[in-house]
Amino acid sequence: MKVSVIGASGRVGKAAAFCLAEESVVSDMVLLSREKSLDQIQGEALDMKDALAAKDIGVSITPSSNFENMEGSKIVVIAAGVPRTPDMTRMDLAIPNAKIVAHYSKLVAKYAPESIILVITNPVDVMTYVAYKASGFPRNRVIGLGNHLDSLRLKNLFAKQFNIHVSEVHTRIIGEHGEHMVLLLSSTSIGGILFKEFSQYQSLDLDAIIEKVKKAGSYVINKKGATEYGPAFAISNIVKTILNDEKRILTLTTFLDGEIYGTNDVCLGVPVKLGKNGVERIIKVNMSDDELKEFKVAAEAVKSSTQELMSKLPEDL
């Protein structure tokens, strides 16, 4: 199966591509970049091929600036975006990134019209909306990475707190990939036992934990300049789930049309059943009153940023 990564010279793009190239279900990988980065992705492709030979993996890797090469892709990952500088507001970043995401989404619609778009570019919930509108794809085929990565970060924190293997923790963050993330405690379990049944639960500082998850990305960026392995493995989870038609329930950004407590016309992170058709079902979660209140705040915040952004973009994107 063929997968393309746009913005492949970037730190997330190349890490994701390398991770995906290792997946046996991927047979063809196309690294797509602007002309100015072509040399770099040619080098990346050769380096990856050398590494993969050591593992007897014979995947085809094509570096290219010709976007027609994405033809036949089952999934196209969009990881292109301008870097955020300290003086930039979220909206300052959203406008140039929306133009990039819209431009690439239209190319995807032209050259890989049957594909699924996976948006990584931040602010990802808003960018997923842009990709949905610009591509004209049905909503099941436009998804964004955000809360899946947040949920993995939370899983790690709980595993450490409870001194338990990470695979035993089932938890979710929904809402915005950003300030308004919502920890779904009511659906958190450890080893299949509801979280609240554990005696340690009472002594946990949940506010501090959620703050840690919110700041996890910036913390890594301050230390090493970018997040790479976390997003890359989260992307590979999503791509593999789709290509193998695994029907796993992952928390992804998707366009909502009233399924979750009437929330509509906004892209937000919610649990979805993921398979070969992309989002095959949006899972209606039962939230506690507090969770619902937070989710509504997240929905309002993302919807208002989305509307503000869309009003500042040309009508034809």
Contact assessment for residue 19 and residue 239, using Cβ atoms and an 8 Å cutoff: no
Residue type, 217: G
Among 33, 73, 128, 188, which residue interacts with ligand NAP (rule: CB under 6 A)?
33
Angle between helices 90-111 and 289-312 (to 10 degrees): 80
| Residues 34-63 interacting with ligand NAP (rule: CB under 6 A) | 34, 37
**Is 167 strand, coil or helix?**
helix
Give me the least distance between CB of 39 and ligand NAP, in Å please: 11
Q: Give backbone dihedrals phi and psi of 172, rounded to 5 degrees, phi first.
A: -150, 145
State how far the Cα of 93 lies from the Cα of 317, in Å rounded to an integer.
Answer: 16
- Per DSSP, the residues of 273-306 read EEETTEEEEEPPP---HHHHHHHHHHHHHHHHHH
- Residue 271 as a binder of ligand NAP (CB under 6 A): the answer is no
Q: Which is nearer to ligand NAP, 68 or 205 (CB)?
A: 68
51: region left, alpha or beta (phi > 0 left; psi from -120 to 50 alpha): alpha
Looking up tokens 């997923």 gives 128
- Residue 82 as a binder of ligand NAP (CB under 6 A): the answer is yes
Among 29, 64, 67, 146, which residue interacts with ligand NAP (rule: CB under 6 A)?
146
Give me the least distance between CB of 196 and ligand NAP, in Å please: 29
Residue 180 annotated among the catalytic residues of the structure: no
Q: Which two tokens stand for residue 62?
A: 């094509």
11: closest CA among 226, 217, 218, 236? 226
- Dihedral angle sign, alpha carbons of residues 193, 178, 136, 4: negative
Exposed e or buried b per residue across 249-271, where buried means at least 16 C-beta atoms within 10 angstroms of its C-beta = ebbbbbbbeebbeebeebbbbbb
- Residue 74 as a binder of ligand NAP (CB under 6 A): the answer is no
Choose the binding region for ligand NAP from 1-9, 244-252, 284-292, 301-309 (rule: CB under 6 A): 1-9
Among 2, 3, 11, 132, which residue interacts with ligand NAP (rule: CB under 6 A)?
11
Among 4, 73, 105, 121, which residue interacts with ligand NAP (rule: CB under 6 A)?
121
Give me the least distance between CB of 63 and ligand NAP, in Å please: 10
State how far the Cα of 257 lies from the Cα of 25, in Å rounded to an integer.
Answer: 32
Give me the least distance between CB of 288 and ligand NAP, in Å please: 26
Give me the least distance between CB of 82 and ligand NAP, in Å please: 5
Q: Which is nearer to ligand NAP, 126 or 190 (CB)?
A: 126
- Residue 4 as a binder of ligand NAP (CB under 6 A): the answer is no
- Residue 180 as a binder of ligand NAP (CB under 6 A): the answer is no
Choose the binding region for ligand NAP from 141-149, 198-206, 297-305, 309-317 (rule: CB under 6 A): 141-149
Length of the chain: 317
Among 77, 100, 267, 285, which residue interacts with ligand NAP (rule: CB under 6 A)?
100
DSSP 8-class letter at 24: T
Choose the binding region for ligand NAP from 8-16, 42-50, 159-167, 289-297 (rule: CB under 6 A): 8-16
Active site residues: 177
* Interface with ligand NAP (CB under 6 A): 7-13, 33-34, 37, 79-83, 100, 120-122, 124, 145-146, 149, 177, 226-227, 231
